[in-house]
Amino acid sequence: MSRYALFGQSVAKSPSPQIHTAFARQTGIPMEYVGIDVAPEALDAALDAFVAGGGRGANVTVPHKEAAFARCAQLSERARLAGAVNTLRLDEGQWYGDNTDGAGLVRDLTGRHGLDLRGRRTLLLGAGGAARGVAPALLDAGVRELVIVNRSPERADALADALGQPGRAHTRYWEDLADIGDFELVINATSAGRHGSAPLSLPFALCSDMTAAVDLNYGDVAIPFLAWARTARLRTIVDGLGMLVEQAAESFERWHGVRPQTDAVYAELRKGAPEPATA
């Protein structure tokens, strides 16, 4: 039986093992998938031990996506553009890295939630591994403008530079949020609310009647941003649970060459997590 895993910090409650177990059962592919909690300084050793124990592929979550990128001998174009990896596949003893986050987000927003992303003025909050993973896919999906804001502006600038579309992707300072107009799409890719970090403080001037709010997080971590969106009385509020399932399906296909069906898996997970607009 082939072995796969999720590497991250505080992954004990992650639904990823449940998701991939369901995919394996659905497709008839025998595999083991477990969560492995590892500190940043121990990631290299953990990956080596995983391979020595028969590991064939892995997902990578915060805070390891950029470190995983550095470990790869080969990269997909979207991983190279993102500078971050969330999917590893062992090819002839070397890691091949991909980033399925952006494809998972776009598939969830357009397919499951019926959002047309074309022409939307979009605000991306954050510039870490999660933001880097979704930014290229948002541009490919046709957003009109992508404004990147991060508390460390140099990271936002680096992401905008990597995207290479200065007319569409550019940065502003966090202090400017009250004065940069409204957006049709606001995406939270920050770690606010995670591990006791300070919650986001966002002006309602970012919103109009047409604004959709999306948090790449799910569960308790997403509560502060989703509460802000509900207080702003936005009609479209989406958490990251659907994205999690869709990016997992992309990863599964990279490993096995078969794309699993996601709707039933998403519905099962959603039973234990209220819809964001009504949470």
Give SS3 for 13: coil
How many Cβ atoms from other residues are within 10 Å of residue 195's Cβ? 10
Active site residues: 65
Q: Which residues contact residue 274 at a Cβ distance below 8 angstroms, ignoring those fewer than 6 apart?
A: none
Q: What are the structure tokens assigned to 99, written together?
A: 């980033």
Q: Which residues contact residue 105 at a Cβ distance below 8 angstroms, ignoring those fewer than 6 apart?
A: 134, 137, 138, 214, 216, 243, 246, 247
Helix runs in the chain, H state only = 16-27, 43-52, 65-71, 77-82, 101-107, 129-140, 153-163, 223-231, 241-256, 263-270
